[in-house]
Structure 1
Amino acid sequence: MAMVLATLASGGLIGLVLGLVGGGGSILAVPLLVYVVGIGSPHAAIGTAAVAVTVNALASLVGHARAGRVKWRCAAVFATAGMIGAAAGAALGQAVDGKRLLALFGLLMIGVGVSMLRPRRGAEVPDVRLTRDSAATLLPRLVPIGLGVGLAAGFFGIGGGFLIVPGLVLATAMPLPYAIGTSLVVVTALGLTTATSYAVGGLVDWHVTALLIAGGIAGTAAGILAGRALATRKGLLERLFAMIVVAIGGYVAVSSF
C-alpha cells in the first residue's frame, strides 16, 4: 500500500510540474522511481518512466494543439531526427552499468538546471514556418540538434522536454509558448521510441507505470489550473524548478558515485 501511494504521489508531482511549466516532469521521474518508489534497477526505472512520460506528454499535447501552439512541420523534422538518436541512445543506455548511468543522469540534471537559470537571448521569430524557402536555413539546424537531443533522451530514458525546448528555440527562434507546444510532439515520439526499446528488453514495470499515469493525469490537471492562476509568475516558477533540478541532480550524482 505504501508503494502504491508513493507511486501515485510521484506521478502527481510529475504531472504537476508538466502542467505548471510545460515540461520537466520527466527529468524527475527516474530519481522518484529509484529513491521514492523503490525500484531497485535503474534500467527498469528508466523504462517505466519512459512509458509514463509518453502517455502524459500525449495528453498535454492535445491542449496545446487545440490552442494552436504547435509548429507541426518543425516538430516532424525534429522528431524524426530525434527518434533515430533515441533508438541509438536507448540501446547504448541499456548496455551501461546502472550506477554509472544514474551518476551520468545526475550530472545531466545539474547541467539542464543551470542552463534553465541562464537568461534567454536572441530575437524571436513569431511566425516560424518550414517551407521550401526556409528549408535551407532551418533543416541544417533542426536535424543535428534533433539527433543530439534524441540521443540524450534515449540514453537517459527521459522525454527531454527541457532539452527539446531550448533546442527548438536555438534552431528556429520560435517564441517559448510555441516551443513548449511543439516540444510535446517530439517528447511523445522520443518517449515512444525509448519506451518500446526498454519494453522489448523486459525493463518496464507495468503495474508501476499504470499508477504513475493515473497520478500524472490528476497532477497535470492541477498543474494547468495552478499555472493559469500563477501565469504572471511563470519566470519565478521556472527558476525555482531549475534550482530543484540542480539539487536533486547533485544528490543523485553524489549518491551514485
Structure 2
Amino acid sequence: MSAIQIRNLTLGYDRHPAVHHLDGTIEQGDMLAVVGPNGAGKSTLLKGLAGAIAPLGGTVELPRLGRHDIAYLPQAAELDRSFPITVFELVAMGLWRRTGLFGGLSRADRQAVGDALAAVGLTGFERRAIGTLSGGQMQRMLFARLLVQDARVILLDEPFTAIDARTCADLLDLVRRWNAEQRTVVAVLHDMETVRQAFPRSLLLARRAIAWGHTADVLTPENMLAARRMTEAFDDHADICTEAA
C-alpha cells in the first residue's frame, strides 16, 4: 500500500530545477533514507513532499492521506532560536491542526505535550526558553513536537546532525518505534553507517535518482561515484531540464 506516489516530479526555485523528473513510490511503513552529495536536491525533495514548495512539473500524490497526515522536521538551522517561546509552547504547536492557531489547550492536550516531552527526556524543561537549549535538547524538543502531531508520514531533514551520540541514539530509537507502528519515515541523512544500520531502503539522489531500493544495493561505490559526477554535471543557472554538457 503506497503512502506517497511521485510522478515525473521536478522541483526548484525561480524556475531553476533542483530535482529532475523523479518517479517512485514510498510505501506505507517505509523507512527510507535520502542520501547524496551536497547540492543533490535532498532538502528540496523533502520540502516538495511536505507541500512547502510547489512542483515545477509532475506531481506528489497521497492516495490515502491528506496533508494533515504529514509531519515535517526541517533542518535545525531553519528555526529561529531567539523567538521568545517556551519549550512547552513550541511542542504544543504540533497540535494546531486540532486546536487552531489560537485555540486553547484542553487537559488532554496538555497531557499529550507532557507525555511527548517525557518520551524524549525533557521532563522539567517545559518553562525553559528555547534559546537556552543545547543542540541536542533542541532536537529532542522538535521530536516531541512531531510526537504530538501523531502523523502517518514523518519527513526528517538531517535529524541527527550536530547532536551528541546519546541524543542521536535516543532519537533513532524513537524513529524505529514509529516504524514499528507502521508510520512512514523519510529522512535526509549524511551518515552512511546510520543509513546501513537503520534504514532498509534508500534513495540516492543527484538531482535525478541514481538508485532507489534496498540500501545494500543502493549504496555501492559505483552508485556513489555516479551521484557525485551527475551533481557536478548540472548547471544551477539553467532553465528546467537543461544539463551542462
TM-score under structure 1 normalisation?
0.30
More strand by share: 2
Q: Based on CA coordinates, which of the two structures has the bigger radius of gyration?
A: 2
TM-score under structure 2 normalisation?
0.32
Q: Which of the pair has the greater relative contact order for Cα pairs under 8 Å at 6+ separation?
A: 1
More helix by share: 1
